[in-house]
A and B are shown apart, each in its own frame.
Chain A
Amino acid sequence: MITFSSFPAPSNDNYRSSVTYPTGLDKDEEFDFDLDNDDFTSSGRKLTCPGEALTSSQAFMRGHGTYVDNEEVIASVAGIVERVNKLISVRAIRTRYNPEVGDLIVGRITEVQPRRWKVDANSRQDAVLMLSSVNLPGGVQRRKLESDELQMRTFFEEGDLLVAEVQAFFADGAMSLHTRSLKYGKLRNGQLVTVPPALIRRLKSHFLALPCGVDLILGLNGYIWVSKHVKESEQEGEEGFDAEAVYSNRNDDIDDATRSAVSRVSNIIRMLAAHFVPLTDTILLNAYEWAVDQDGSIRDLLQEDAGEALVAAISAQL
């Protein structure tokens, strides 16, 4: 029923006896910023350590994630170096979600305000979903009425999960969302898994359907919705835009096999995220096939050795 274990020991315990820091970096080790080479990214992306000297501050300007000390631009976070002309910045690996226009996100309503909802999207600020940027019952072209403002909670209420797209930014950097597509809207029939946003790659489509009867929505903000598969033909259609179905809170009947598939996929995602494997459709498919082949219980997937075996199997296939 319950097992206790110890906290993982720090991997390097030598600091007790002796501390050795590298004394001064070689010039070769410094980042080589070649101004003629526009394709900076392909010249080998490298992770920075906090405190690592990147380049001279006389030739370059410091951006986010860096500071200047002793005429050198120094990384203040662990991340990936990015350069725009003379501006050097480091994008941290572990960070909140940085929204960009057009991103697909999964969010949770935190507040209902006049003519807008506040949405938690794992970003620095809550996102805003305006009443004017959702599809309302009765057709896409319908005007917003005062009665709609009065019954906003019948569309989304606090705690509801939704999938949306980033539409624009406000002056303070908060993002504005829209759900004006039939693919977007309220989520049901499944469960949410959270991973670090850096692990979600930009894909052609963020709506995945696994052959085990599970649909996935990979929100770029690190929220992943794992749910029962809905057939194309049964999706809420344009013609009879059915408000009942789109804003319904009720789950369909889900059989036990689908439920366990949802749990298994969720555990695979958690395990991959724990090993910091970026998630794409092929990786998830391979991982699911591997997990089914192993024939273990769903819970076993969260064990450490199973996770390592999973990650080893996945990286062998890549």
Chain B
Amino acid sequence: MAAAISKAERTYIQTSLKSNPPLRADGRSLYDFRSVLLETGVAPLANGSARLNIGKSPEEGGGGTEVIAATKLEVENVENGDGQDGGRIVCTVTCSPAAYPQLSMNALDDLQYDYTTVLHQILSHPSLHPKNLEIIPKKKSWLLSLDLVILSDAGNIYDALFMAARGALWDTKVPITRAVQYTAKKTGEVVRAVEEALGSESVGSSGLDTRQLPAAADFELMDYWDEGEPLDGNDLWPVCITLNVHETTHFLDATLLEESSVPSKLLLVFSFPPSSASRIQAVRTIGSGELQPLHVQTLIPEAEKYARQLNSALNGKLKDEDVRRNQKARNIFANR
């Protein structure tokens, strides 16, 4: 989203970037982020949620790029043709009109469609698919809707979206289910038998039943001490690094004015599996500028380095948040 900028401002920013040492409007170095605020569990009715703000001024109420992400799980009946076996993820990004007051409603729709496409394509990719979205194989599965709202945009929106999405997915708890099967006794009365293992062949089934389909017909929620198990693949969720490329230099976490004074942005999305090497999940270029493939090649290892730092910092923060919320819940419980 290009903010209005005058030519004098643009050249001022560009020459500052090229000066030695490079200088930015707020005195940051090229690879510094503004302060990032993160909180998980902000929406009580969601299965997982997070609120993220980049660059909020410390005392004041406003300022900064603010994103809220929340996930909600729904049951889908695979047999009826909706959903897919093993569950699926649908991402939606909504832009608050207050975040982009200068845009018309149509332009706003286009913008949120762009954000939605990028996020959905990357996060719903099979390589990241969590394993515990399945309820009953080939019958029931969870639909995980990840909704993000952009409350204000002060630059670097893609990084913010991915960090918020990761926070919400990290926070998501999938309810524990148990498959339920109905068997007809010879007397004709219907007795419900509960299968302990999900989808295992039932022992008491009729000898005539040779179908390989799992016998479980439905599921029930188990009595469990928590809302559920965390979503599988917590540490796989990717982080995005936006490199703002100006000639031979690049910098991170651009403000709106900086974004509109560089010709091209390069989005690189990395996932860091704990045991193996990092994976590039996606590469996107945004903007009118031209990026040579050789240049991009040199930028990827750089971006990988930043993404690794971002990833470990984010993991640490999310773990802290879990501790904080446990503490808070315990306090509320103790005060009752």
Q: Which residues of A contact B (CB under 8 A)?
A: 1-7, 16-17, 108-110, 120, 158-161, 186-192, 249-251, 254, 256, 259-260, 263-264, 266-267, 270, 273-276, 297-299, 301-304, 307
Q: Do B57 and A259 touch (CB < 8 A)? A: no
Distance between B4 CB and nearest chain A CB, rounded to angstroms = 4
Indicate whether A4 sits within 8 Å of B8 (C-beta atoms), given known contacts A251-B15, A263-B25, A297-B27: no
- Which residue of A is nearest B321, CB measured? A6
Pairwise interchain contact B58-A189, C-beta atoms closer than 8 A:
no
B114 at the interface (CB under 8 A from A): no
Please report the C-alpha to C-alpha distance between residue A236 and residue B285 in the assembled complex, in whole angstroms: 43
B8 and A299: CB pair below 8 A?
Answer: no
CA distance A25 to B59 in the complex (A): 31
B35: chain A residues within 8 A (beta carbon): 3, 5
How far is it, in angstroms, between the C-alpha of A120 and the C-alpha of B102 when the chains are bound?
11
Are B33 and A1 in contact (CB-based, < 8 A)?
A: yes
User: Do B317 and A161 touch (CB < 8 A)?
Assistant: no
**B23 is an interface residue with CB less than 8 A from chain A:** yes
Residues of B within 8 A of A17 (CB): 335
Of chain A, the residue at the smallest CB distance from B2 is: A159
B24 to chain A, nearest CB (A): 7
How many B residues have CB within 8 A of the partner chain? 48
B286 adjacent to chain A (CB < 8 Å):
no
> Are B306 and A299 interface neighbours, CB within 8 A?
no
Determine the distance from Cα of A158 to Cα of B35 in the docked complex, in whole angstroms.
31
Q: How far is the CA of A270 from the CA of B37 in the complex (A)?
A: 18
CA distance A301 to B58 in the complex (A): 11
Q: Is the CB of A108 within 8 A of B314?
A: no
Of A108, A250, A267, the contact of B11 (CB 8 Å cutoff): A250
Q: Write the nearest CB–CB distance from A213 to chain B, whole angstroms.
A: 15
Residues of B within 8 A of A298 (CB): 23, 26-27
B163 to A, closest residue via Cβ: A4
Task: Please tell me which one of the listed residues A2, A16, A190, A303 contacts residue B309 in the complex, with CB atoms under 8 A apart.
Answer: A2
Q: B242 → chain A, closest Cβ, in Å?
A: 13
- The answer, yes or no, to whether B51 is at the interface (CB within 8 Å) is yes
In the complex, A5→B51 CA distance in Å? 12
A307 lies within 8 A of B27 (CB): no
| Residue of chain A at shortest CB distance from B317 | A4
Pairs across A and B, CB under 8 Å, 30 listed? A1-B31, A1-B309, A2-B33, A3-B36, A4-B36, A6-B37, A6-B38, A6-B324, A7-B53, A108-B4, A109-B4, A110-B102, A159-B7, A161-B6, A187-B8, A188-B6, A189-B8, A189-B12, A249-B6, A250-B11, A254-B12, A256-B23, A266-B25, A270-B26, A273-B60, A275-B59, A299-B26, A302-B26, A304-B58, A304-B59
Interface residues of B in 27-79 (CB under 8 A from A): 27-29, 31-33, 35-39, 51, 53, 57-60
Contacting pair A251 B12 (CB below 8 A): yes
Partner of B39, one of A2, A3, A7, A16: A7
Most A CB contacts (10 A, CB to CB) among B6, B23, B314 go to B6
Measured between beta carbons, the chain B residues less than 8 angstroms from A159 are 4-7, 9
In contact, B27 and A160 (Cβ under 8 angstroms): no
Interchain CB contact under 8 A, B27 and A264: yes
Check B327 for interface membership: any CB of A closer than 8 A.
no
Prevailing SS type, chain B contact patch: mixed
Highest count of chain B CB atoms <10 Å: which of A1, A270, A275: A1
The verdict on B16 contacting chain A, using a C-beta distance below 8 Å, is: yes
Query: From residue A197, how far is it (CB to closest CB) to chain B in Å?
Result: 14
> Which residues of B have CB within 8 Å of A273?
57, 60
Among A1, A3, A192, the residue within 8 A (CB) of B9 is A192
Query: Can you name the residue of chain A whose Cβ is closest to the Cβ of B51?
Result: A7
Q: Which residues of A contact B12 (CB under 8 A)?
A: 188-191, 251, 254
| B100-121 interface (Cβ within 8 A of A) | 102
Complexed CA–CA distance, A270 and B35 (Å): 14
Q: Which residues of A contact B57 (CB under 8 A)?
A: 270, 273-274
Chain A residue with minimal CB distance to B252?
A1
Bound complex: CA A279 to CA B13 (Å): 25
B31 neighbours in A (Cβ, 8 Å): 1
Determine whether the beta carbon of B7 is less than 8 Å from that of A249: yes
**Centre residue among B8, B23, B32, B321 by max chain A CB count within 10 A:** B8
Complex partner residue of B23 from A4, A6, A249, A263, CB under 8 angstroms: A263
CB distance from A195 to the nearest CB of B (A): 10
Q: Which residues of chain B in 285-329 are interfacial with respect to chain A, using CB atoms and an 8 Å cutoff?
A: 306, 309-310, 313-314, 316-317, 321, 324
**Shortest Cβ distance from B25 into A: residue:** A191
Chain B CB within 10 A, most for which of A2, A250, A301, A302: A2
Interface contact B36-A6, CB-CB below 8 Å:
no
Q: When the two chains form their complex, are residues B310 and A2 in contact, meaning their CB atoms are under 8 A apart?
A: yes
Q: Is the CB of A259 within 8 A of B5?
A: no
Given contacts A6-B324, A270-B57, contact A191 B9 (CB under 8 A): yes
B80 near A: Cβ within 8 Å? no
B314: chain A residues at CB < 8 Å are 4
Give Cα distance in the complex from A246 to B185, angstroms: 95
Chain B residues, Cβ within 8 Å of A108: 4, 6
What is the minimal beta-carbon distance from A71 to any residue of chain B, in angstroms?
34
Q: Is the CB of A307 within 8 A of B59?
A: yes
6 closest residue pairs by CB, A with B: A298-B27, A188-B8, A4-B317, A249-B7, A2-B33, A159-B4
Instruction: List chain B residues, Cβ under 8 A from A304.
Output: 58-59
Closest to A196 in B: B60
B26 touches A4 (CB 8 A): no
Is B206 part of the binding interface, using a Cβ–Cβ cutoff of 8 Å? Answer: no
Across-interface contacts of B275 in A (CB, < 8 A): none
Contacts of A192 in B (CB 8 A): 9, 257
Residues of A within 8 A of B51 (CB): 7
Whether a CB of chain A sits under 8 angstroms from the CB of B208 is no
Question: Cβ of A256: which chain B residues have Cβ within 8 Å of it?
Answer: 19-20, 23
- How far is A195 from B316 in the complex, measured between Cα atoms in Å? 34
